[in-house]
Structure 1
Amino acid sequence: MSLRLPVSIIILLFSLIGCQSKVENPMEKIEEEKIHSLSLHLYPSTIRMVNIANDPNFHEVTKNVKKAHYLQINLDSEEKTSAYEAWKNEQSFSDWEEMLSARMNGSLVNIYTPQGEEDYFFASIESNDVVSLVWLEGKVDLAKATQLMQTGIDLGPVTDFLTDKKETEEQREKMKALRKQMNEGEAMPEVDSLEIDQPNK
């Protein structure tokens, strides 16, 4: 009995330390605003599934990613723009390390990682009318990721889906076709780790 109590306390302390050190995804708050046109939560199985075109560069960059969150915001109204700017002004990356800040293909790209952490990355890609936000958990080769961003990504139907400017219903039809392609191919686990949130406009 004299040993059980100290061991329990030690386990509890380590659990608390682990909870306190967890890095929070800064995109969660802006997602709650429901101004995005697309939200994807991806895990290793679904990251492999979206690479239908078998792009080797995409595979090389994402092979060690444990979790990815992608948000796309179309700045097509004053309300959305104001909400995004308000969220952006609230963010403080003073204790984060800036890995990249550059213009690529007409877009401003910023990549940050928390100081002392090697497995978390936040990226924003801003153009005149669209903002893409990415949160990654896992190891990423930034040099290869930057090269991929410059040369472009070929993910077949997924690329078409992400860049489609048509109505939400048409986007849903694309996803149905995408799932059909996956079902006709190699057997995959249930797609319960792919979450798509498309709020009504």
Structure 2
Amino acid sequence: MIKTFALFTEGVTDQSVLTNVLHGVFGDQEWQIQVNPVQPMRDATHQRWQAPHAGWELVLEKCCSELLETAAEANDFIVIHLDSDCCSHTNINIRVDEDGGQRDCAQFSKELIDTCIEKIGANRLEALNKPVIFAISVHTIECWILPIYAERDVDRKATLNCENRLRRILSHKRIRMQKEHRAYSNISRELARPQVLQTAMTHSPSLSRFHASCRAAAGL
């Protein structure tokens, strides 16, 4: 049996990471998963993406279009990804800091999900009759990869400046990091292993929440 997942993501690198994470989430199941990137779109040969990135605004734009219903008809699950660094944008306007520190990430992540549901339409989402899973990476998806490579807790648990942290750490390990699909697929591939994913989740609450949402959506 194959379960299919439609991905609406900010960029192609996010699709690479989420594909590995999904394999890690369901690696203990007898059924297999098939990940179908919807946004950004791939070309007809499925070899290249039509755009190097999308951005959170385009994710919501596509989710507000008929593309969402089309994806729901062809897939078992819908995954909508946003980096929480979009919270500071005036069109989102969700506070992530409070009293000189960061608010509980579960709180502002829920507010971001509620904002997305409001923009897309709660009735539309319900009418899909398919589970919709929100992947909110705090604050960028590189923060989900850091626990694989970081040796210091401050880096493993980081939610700020994660891309630069990861690039520095990988450079020290002589691993080249490029902002493209194959490179991100390679550097995040360990997340496809359930045991590695479980360890990474202990350092990243937002990754743990996505894992829990996926399992709940699949009735596990």
Shared fold (TM-score, shorter chain, > 0.5) = no
Which structure: greater strand fraction?
1
In the superposition, the TM-score normalised over structure 1's length comes to: 0.29
Which structure: greater helix fraction?
2
In the superposition, the TM-score normalised over structure 2's length comes to: 0.27
